[in-house]
Amino acid sequence: MLYLIARMIDWNGCQRSLGISFRQESLLEQAFVHSSYCNENPGCPLPSNERLEFLGDAVLNFVVTEGLYKEFPNSPEGELTEIRASLICRDTLASLASSLNLGDWLVLGRGEEASGGRTKASNLANAMEALIGAFYLDQGLARTRRFILKQLKPELEEIKSGKIPRNYKALVQEFIQGEKRPTPVYRLVEASGPDHRKRFTSEILVEGEVLGKGTGKSKKIAESQAARAAWERLRCSHG
């Protein structure tokens, strides 16, 4: 039996688009319910996708770790950690979600919709993890593993060919999370020079402590350089 929310979206079309079929369609629906919709609609018969996201994150981490252990039998722990960080970081998950058009199926509140919620990297990455969690509950580990590895195959091929650079932001975040500390925060501290030759300087902080500083021609590059400095510091201090 479909929930009321299903009347607004063609969930059969969603499943055809994804190439999957759910036994419990309510799990598929829940994977796309953003908390903003529940906040604006207290009578919503489905909870938000946050619990499924939590589960999906754990399943994704396990499947990727297991896959890399088998795929790279001669790689040391540090290298495997680095590869895994690149594969399960927000940017990669958001890119995968975008390629699957997951934003089209999100159930958003009016405010989130108006602010471009369908294309926000955080919403897309969270939806990807929630979908994995829902698929795991509905189909089991074996099918979920095949689904995940199929989606990540292009990225794995690029890693094998050495085309993917180090994702220092993902490495630092995974390291900090492993120490049960709050998520790193990036702060722009300076923007100098003419418009056509701007230079940005950013810092990365954890609990108010500056772990690294970086400079670049864009905020993104400056943050990446700051994360690189932090990563080198963390590796030295824990080496």
10 Å CB burial of residue 148 (0-12, 13-18, 19+) is buried
Q: Which of 29, 82, 129, 223 is catalytic?
A: 129
CA–CA distance, 207 with 107 (Å, rounded to integer): 34
CB neighbourhood size of 174 (10 A): 17
Is 129 among the catalytic positions?
yes
Is 10 among the catalytic positions?
no
CA–CA distance, 81 with 77 (Å, rounded to integer): 6
Q: Which of 25, 29, 53, 57 is catalytic?
A: 57
| Buried-exposed string 212-228: b where 16+ CB fall within 10 A, e elsewhere | bbbebeeeeebbbbbbb
Torsion of CA 184, 107, 54, 207, to 10 degrees: 20
Active site residues per annotation: 57, 129
